[in-house]
Structure 1
Amino acid sequence: MGEKVTDSEGAAGPGDAERMLVSDMVHIATEFLDSLPEKLYSRAVQLPFGDPAVEAERVRWFYTPTDHGGVPIGELSPRQQGLAMRLLASGLTRPAYATACVIMGLENVLDELEGWSADWGRERTRDPGLYWVRVFGRPGDPLWGWRVGGHHLSVNLLIHDGEIAATTPSFLGANPAASPLLAGTLRPLGGAEDLARSVMGSLRTPEQARALLHPRAISDIVSGNRARVRPGDRMMHLQDLFRGPLPTPRLSAQADRHDEAAERASGYTEQDHETMALTLEPQGVPAHEMTVEQRGLLRELLAAYTDRSPTPVADAYRRHYLVEHNLDRVHFAWAGSVSPGEPHYYRLTGPRLLVEYDNTQRAADHAHSVWRDPDGDFGMDLLASHRTEIPH
């Protein structure tokens, strides 16, 4: 979190619970690394923490079907897989962990939906075994961290002196966004979509007009997988969301076709992308202009993102946004249709807050969502302050 989120009385979150959680996290990560043979260990851990090459990799993250760096779950033994999943669970609330597991399993559903024929240059493109685990530094050191990531999932944690210092970027996606079940429908991100639609739908007409960034939805989140987000950032295109250039002309041309199809579907021009660029000043309708009911919906929507962190951190965020002046500074903005099943996008901005959600691709059946701290993603603010304290 960088700067510790506080409750209404200024007290930090439940320190004992957080320290116990971090102690458990150290134990799990250590047991996981100790279980690996040398050839996997050398891929799973990067040392020393703070080395420029290690730091460059730590802040390199993805949400596309590319190599996320580390050791993939599919190459692990059952015991090692269990430890990897325990580590992932330790970095999330239980609902967030369950959502992450569903997202990983959706690779099998997407494979069937695409006729088992998707080909991004891997033996199996839609593979629930292609979720990578990587540890940065030695668990238990004053500074260390870890990442679990794969298609539509990226969880990044930094631990400093036994406390959780950063939990963003945090990305969850779902393709398909909705899948038929026996007597039901599976929508892993449905709550985050429905809550936002309820906020937008509850606004009066003049407020809806102020919240609307664009009448059509953009085809992806704007912040992309940048290590750091800044004002003026525009949506990244598909070729730039992979680990380096795609290895063959065929795959490069395929990425271009996918990107062009998404752009045609959105109807966006360069001016439209400029309109949707990130801004220094928050856009949309601020919470302080909302009714009590709308503010309640907004709090629950925020929790759908901040609960993507360990429970003590998530609880601190919930207390943080119960404080009226903290919630007041959050702005809500929308693009596209409000009708269910139609392409749409929304954005939450405020101090140390950027949330984006889009469900536009594949006829609004492919959702992306991300929670970021523009000042403290990856704990960059904390690390910057430490560097200034080091005598030269």
Structure 2
Amino acid sequence: MTSDPHLTYRAPTAIRDMLFTTWSLLGSFTADQKSRAQFPFDDPARVDWDFIPKPDRTGVPLFELDRHQKALAHTLMRAGLSIRGYSQALAVMATENVLRATEVIDRGFGVYAADFRDPENYLFSWFGRPAFEDTWGWRVMGHHLCLNYTVVGQEYLTVTPTVLGAQPFPAGVLDPLGASQRMAFDLLGRLSPEQRATTHIHDVAPADFTTRQVPKVGDVELPDHVDLGIETYETTDDDRWALRFEKASPSGLNGAELSTDDLALARDLLLHFVGTGPDELARQYRLAVEAEPADGLTFAWAGGLRPDTSYYFRVSTRRLLVESDNAVAAGNHIHAIWRDLDNDLGHDLLLGHYARHDHRRGAGHLRRRVVSSTVADADFIASRSQV
């Protein structure tokens, strides 16, 4: 699971609230809605968290729900987020109204924009059987928002990848990612020229996340050439290599080279993203990050060095990775993500759970209730009968 005593992934309050709210919401669905909202835990859709507009997304959208169901859906979102994280998610969704208004003018979408940019076109999906002792997950996904939750044995919780985006940036008073961007530029501005040169790994920003939308970050990841096929912003193979993320030795400025105050700011920048998650987990991550040696952190920057340019930054530790990309619209279109390098979508926790699982633990109890001992305990009965 984890060797860090600070990070247990146990979040009993959040897990309880998620389960009971899920029961209420699914219980209110029609048979058709349930068929579109619930999937086996091993369904490939669970690990496809690409948040761009797609016609084949799974789930039931907010706009289909009645007033009571929408309240339950928002209660479920709140269970998986801190109050700040929840308000940021709401701001991301509300920004669709502003984006629709601007695209009617900029792209000539006309009446079609009302369907394409919809603050309620966010879909809820569940994977596995939401129940006591079971392993299951749920997700809410739409334009510039993807929240992924995996509950392992109704005991452990993971909340990554967590994606928030912003377009336009800012959208009037709606500014869901503004604080993180200001923190990043503050940190960059505090560096010495020599430190900034080490931090600035490339003069071209990636078109999107360096780690793309993979279910689990590999040892080495490279960004794609383009974002969403927008060929007006394209990177070369040389750019991709310069921007690569190597898990064992990330490029950029090592935390051991930062002053005490600047190291604290770099950690706060990382934890600002982590703090969107439920408080129980955010506290664990904070303790783990603060206990990690300074040389476990790396800060990297690419592209322009001013807010009105195409830029990208990332902060990583041995366990966590934050990426924020503002490239394709020159400072007016942000994609931001935080990832748990071991436990995106519950990866290592699931492996550990299945390795530890036997007939005495977890959901095995539920299976034993409905299977004859002649079958379930055949070996045990045979061994005792021979005595």
Shorter-chain TM band: 0.7 to 0.9
Structure 1 range deviating more: 376-385 or 31-40: 376-385
Mapped contact 2:95–2:171 kept (Cα < 8 A): no
Partner in structure 2 of residue 160 of structure 1: 152
Structure 1 residue 384 corresponds to structure 2 residue 351:
yes
Provide the residue aligned with 1:248 in structure 2: none
The alpha carbon displacement at 1:188 in A equals 1.3
Residue 104 of structure 2 is aligned to residue 115 of structure 1: yes
Match in the other structure for 1:43: 36
Q: Which residue of 1 aligns with 2:375?
A: none
Determine the structure 2 residue equivalent to 1:209: 197
Asked if 1:24 is matched to 2:53, the reply is no
Q: Which residue of 1 aligns with 2:78?
A: 89
Candidates 245, 253, 262, aligned match of 2:233: 262
Are 1:357 and 1:369, in contact at CA under 8 Å, matched by a contact in 2? Answer: yes
**Residue 230 and residue 172 in structure 1: after superposition, are their counterparts in 2 closer, same or farther (change >3 A)?**
same
The share of aligned pairs that are identical, in percent, is: 33
Larger RCO, structures 1/2 (Cα 8 Å, 6+ apart) = 1
8 A Cα contact 1:5 1:317, kept in partner: no
In 2, Cα distance between equivalents of 1:41 and 1:23: 21
Instruction: Identify if the C-alpha distance between structure 1 residues 81 and 237 changes in structure 2 by more than 3 Å, giving closer, same or farther.
Output: farther
Deviations, residues 254-279 of structure 1 (Å, cap 9, x unaligned): x64xx11122xxxx322111211222
RMSD: 2.3
Paired with 1:197 and 1:61, the residues of 2 have a C-alpha distance of: 29
Residue aligning to 1:224: 212
Structure 1: where are the runs of 5+ without partners?
240-254
Read off the aligned partner of 2:36 and give its amino acid letter: R
Q: Which residue of 1 aligns with 2:143?
A: 151
Question: Does the aligned pair in 2 maintain the 1:168–1:371 contact within 8 Å?
Answer: yes
User: Taking structure 1 as the reference length, what is the TM-score of the superposition?
Assistant: 0.84
Return the offset for 1:234. Answer: 2.1
Q: Which residue of 2 aligns with 1:246?
A: none
- TM-superposition CA deviations, 1:120-169 (whole Å, max 9, x none): x9971111121010111222242111111110011111112333431111
Deviates most, 281-290 or 24-33: 281-290
Per the alignment, residue 381 of structure 2 pairs with none
Counterpart amino acid of 1:385?
A: G
Task: Return the alpha-carbon distance in structure 2 between the equivalents of residues 102 and 386 of structure 1.
Answer: 36
Q: Is the 8 A contact 2:220 2:246 kept in 1?
A: yes
Which residue is equivalent to 1:136? 127
- TM-superposed CA distance for 1:29, in Å, is 0.6
C-alpha distance in 2 between matches for 1:290 and 1:136: 43
Post-superposition shift, 1:237? 5.6
1:252 alignment partner in structure 2: none
Q: Does structure 2 conserve the Cα–Cα contact (< 8 Å) formed by 1:287 and 1:330? A: yes
C-alpha change, 1:390 and 1:5, in structure 2 (3 Å) is closer
AA aligned opposite 1:282: P
1:269-311: CA deviation from partner (whole Å, max 9, x where unpaired): 2211121122231211121221111012112101111112111
Output the CA distance in 2 between the equivalents of 1:362 and 1:118.
18
Provide the secondary structure at the position in 2 that maps to 1:369.
strand
- TM-score, normalization by structure 2: 0.85
**Aligned-pair CA distance for 1:204:** 1.1
Structure 2 equivalent of residue 285 of structure 1: 253
CA contact (8 A) 2:314 2:323 kept: yes
1:68 aligns with 2:57: yes
Q: 2: distance between equivalents of 1:328 and 1:160?
A: 32
Number of positions where the alignment pairs a residue of Structure 1 with one of Structure 2 = 352
Q: Which amino acid aligns with 2:16?
A: S
Partner of 2:365: none
Write out aligned runs for 1:165-204 (5 A): 165-181=157-173, 186-204=174-192
Q: Give secondary structure in 1 for the equivalent of 2:352.
A: helix
- 1:123 and 1:192, CA in 2 relative to 1: closer, same or farther beyond 3 A? closer
For 1:8-19, what aligned pairs fall within 5 Å after superposition? Answer: 12=8, 18-19=11-12
Distance 1:98 1:314 in 2: 16
**Structure 1 partner of 2:322:** 355
1:316-359 per-position Cα deviation (integer Å, ceiling 9, x unaligned): 1122222252x540100001222222211011222122211011
Checking the alignment, whether the CA contact within 8 Å between 1:157 and 1:164 is kept in structure 2 is no
Q: What's the counterpart of residue 91 of structure 2?
A: 102
Cα deviation for residue 232 of structure 1 reads: 3.4
What letter is aligned with 1:152? H
Using the alignment, how far apart are the partners of 1:88 and 1:287 within structure 2? Answer: 34
Secondary structure of 2:241's aligned partner: helix
Check 1:4–1:302 CA distance in 2 against 1; reply closer, same or farther (3 A cut). Answer: farther
Q: Which moved more, 1:129-138 or 1:30-39?
A: 129-138
Task: Confirm or deny: 8 A CA contact 2:152 2:346 kept in the other structure.
Answer: no
| Structure 1 residue 225 displacement after superposition | 1.4
**CA displacement 1:53-79 (0-9 Å, x = unmatched):** x2x221111221124311111111111
